């Protein structure tokens, strides 16, 4: 068990300490893998990609151009179960800003594979 002291500090400097903790809600781990639509989309200059990892293991998050060429690898690692948000700053694997256009973000984990389309507008 863990005990926490929760305090509220008003702008005038008055400190209130909560005397009773009613309960703690733990976030639930995802039951399945998922790739969500990046936000914002269209984007400039960054977009966020949310993924759910259901089981510990290797995952890849790759960006491809309209011709199927690899633009960059956003994640290639072993992750624990959980919810992740990865930022993409519209740069390729060499650190160069990419051109306006449509790109595909592919998330692969275990036997799961999904792809979402994003649009970079400059």
Hey, how many other C-beta atoms are within 10 angstroms of the C-beta on 86?
Answer: 15
Residue 69 confidence class, pLDDT cut points 50, 70, 90: very high
Whole-angstrom distance, CA of residue 106 vs CA of residue 73: 10
Question: Domain spanning 27-120 has what CATH number?
Answer: 2.60.40.4070
The reported pLDDT for the residue numbered 67 is 96
The reported pLDDT for the residue numbered 4 is 58
Bridge partners of residue 61, in order along the sequence: 75, 107
Residue 8 confidence class, pLDDT cut points 50, 70, 90: low
Q: Give yes or no for a contact between 33 and 39, defined as CB atoms under 8 angstroms apart.
A: no
The reported pLDDT for the residue numbered 18 is 53
DSSP line for the chain: ------EEE-TTS-EEE-------PPPPPPSS-EEPPPBSSSBSS-EEEEEEE-SSEEEEEEEEETTS-EEEEEEEEEE-SEEEEEEE-SB-TTSPBPPSEEEEEEEEETTEEEEEEEEE--
The ranges assigned to domains in the chain are: 27-120
Averaged pLDDT score across all residues of the chain: 86
pLDDT in tens, 57-66: 999 999 999 9
As a whole number, mean pLDDT of residues 64-85 equals 94
pLDDT in tens, 22-67: 554 456 888 899 999 999 999 999 999 999 999 999 999 999 999 9
């Amino acid at each position: 068990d863990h005990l926490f002291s929760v305090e509220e500090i008003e702008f005038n400097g008055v400190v209130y300490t909560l005397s009773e903790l009613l309960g703690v809600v733990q976030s639930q781990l995802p039951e399945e893998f998922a790739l969500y639509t990046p936000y914002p989309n269209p984007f400039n200059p960054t977009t966020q990609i949310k993924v759910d990892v259901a089981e510990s293991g290797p995952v890849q998050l790759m960006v491809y151009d309209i011709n199927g060429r690899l633009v960059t690898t956003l994640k290639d690692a072993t992750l624990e179960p959980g919810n992740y948000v990865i930022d993409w700053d519209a740069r390729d694997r060499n650190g160069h800003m990419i051109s306006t256009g449509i790109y595909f973000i592919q998330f692969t984990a275990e036997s799961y594979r999904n792809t979402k389309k994003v649009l970079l507008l400059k």
